[in-house]
Amino acid sequence: MSTIASSATAVERRATEQFDETVARLKDYLSYAAISCDPSHFDDVHRLAERIRDDLSALGLDNARLLHLEGTLPCVAAEWLHADPSAPTVLIYGHLDLQPVKGEPWRTDPHEGVELDGRLYARGSADDMGGWVSHLAAIRAWLEESGGLPCNLKLLIEGEEEIGSPNLERYMDTFPEAFSSDVMVLTDCENPSVDIPGLTVSLRGLMELELAVEALDADGHSGLWGNMVPDVSVALCRLIARLTDEDGRLKVGRVEDIDDDWRRDSWDVPLNAEIIRDGAHIIDGVDPLPTHGRSPAEWLWRQPSLTVVATTLPTAETKKNALRTKATATLSVRLAPGQEADELRDAITEVVTTNPPGGVKVTVSPTGWDGESWLYTPRGPAFEAADRAYERVWGRKLLQVGVGGSIPFVALFGRKYGDLPLILNGVMDPKTTAHGPNESMHLGIFGKAIRANVWLYEELGALPRDTLAVSPA
């Protein structure tokens, strides 16, 4: 035990000594405008993928290759499988592609890594290049310091995450050997602060509904008919109001069955009024909604919510003194993790179609926009190992966090590999502004992530592979 620990300590030291070289490598990758939604940048995606493949090979990984399916952008894969066969195989997943930058007010060149005040600015710095490069750094330090890794390891770096991973499941089915493993470490998630490492365990789902109200088959004179004929605009607003409480939150489908320990820990998430005000750009004189005894984390990650994203109410351009035939609102509903879309849709439909105001005709129809939710209970030795690794480097265990939005690849991994330990973390923090202008990564987080990875491999490598499977929540 002591020789292993001292060797991991030496690896950690070497990784720290190599930090500047790691940042230089990262800056090189960030200079590729690998934007996956823009065909004029597909060539950059390909060039970066080839570059990474060659680097993985030079690092000492085996079988570094591009996986490719017709009509898709490639994945990069590589492996190192020379640890004891009883040791687990750890899959590291990340993505190399970027969000576009068009029209955004950047202070620096978005495709050049620039260090400012302890942060590295560039599109993709934290989402997600820093995430998986933190693993390359740990792998390199292990191989150079001790000539091997304490666990078997596979790397899979996707080229289409930022367009919603439309082909990732096909890659999983076509190249199962590139994914098969005992533990998966998925980068691309957030830390709640620069001092608190995060473990993502839930996503909200997404369901979009069109709520339509009809009363007339032709517009009618409001002076002649007002007071005896329903106004569809008012009826629509009253129906939306029915779905919400006095604060404007969705009150249908609220979830009460939430783990007590999770509820207690959720108050540790640093989401106070100031952070919410700042992050969401709330104007002076307006406050975040009252919490009513539930933590902000619970409201954001574990409760369903409603946003009106479009309407066909009369606009300033179409103003006239008339009662209208029809009004619609598109309701974007975030589903609580694990909540069934059909059940919530039925509950919403029941509320708006029962005794509608003025007897108007009400219909609710799905628009087809949706996203899977995910709820995961991390348990078993792999998570205890991760906690030990993080505690050693960060001084505290991983805090379980959620994501209020949908991330297709996470839901997909959860569906396909939910019986494996899925460790979702990354190098983002609340100041990262992923997908926005001036994206950046905190270099202190990056350093801690690299060192924690060194210990994560060490801790996971000490576990017999046949003890790791978990039963899904």
| CA–centroid distance for 360 within its chain | 40
Pick the closer one to Zn ion by CB: 18 or 167.
167
Residues in CB range of 185: below 8 A, 6 or more apart: 90, 91, 92, 93, 135, 423, 425, 456
Two tokens at 428?
């983002």
Tell me which amino acid residue 85 is: P
Note whether 439 binds Zn ion by CB under 5 A: no
Note whether 190 binds Zn ion by CB under 5 A: no
Note whether 160 binds Zn ion by CB under 5 A: no
> Near Zn ion by CB under 5 A, which window of 76-84, 123-131, 294-302, 465-473?
123-131
Note whether 127 binds Zn ion by CB under 5 A: yes
Residues in CB range of 14: below 8 A, 6 or more apart: 141, 144, 145
DSSP 173-189: HH-HHHH--SEEEE---
User: Minimum Å distance from CB 119 to Zn ion?
Assistant: 18
> Near Zn ion by CB under 5 A, which window of 70-78, 122-130, 220-228, 381-389?
122-130
Order of strands across the sheet with 399-403?
Answer: 374-375, 198-203, 399-403
Q: How many Cβ atoms from other residues are within 10 Å of residue 416's Cβ?
A: 15
Tell me which amino acid residue 257 is: D
Note whether 128 binds Zn ion by CB under 5 A: yes
> Near Zn ion by CB under 5 A, which window of 54-62, 113-121, 180-188, 208-216?
180-188
Question: Considering just the CA atoms, what is the radius of gyration of the chain in Å?
Answer: 25
Note whether 459 binds Zn ion by CB under 5 A: no
Q: Say how far apart CA 363 and CA 349 lie, in whole Å.
A: 8
User: Residue 438: which of 180, 111, 106 has the closest Cα?
Assistant: 106
Pick the closer one to Zn ion by CB: 152 or 200.
200
Pick the closer one to Zn ion by CB: 128 or 182.
128
Note whether 188 binds Zn ion by CB under 5 A: yes
Two tokens at 430?
């609340």
Note whether 429 binds Zn ion by CB under 5 A: no
Pick the closer one to Zn ion by CB: 362 or 445.
445
Pick the closer one to Zn ion by CB: 131 or 378.
131
Note whether 12 binds Zn ion by CB under 5 A: no
Binding mask 79-118 for Zn ion (x = CB under 5 A): ----------------------------------------
Residues binding Zn ion (CB under 5 A):
127-128, 188
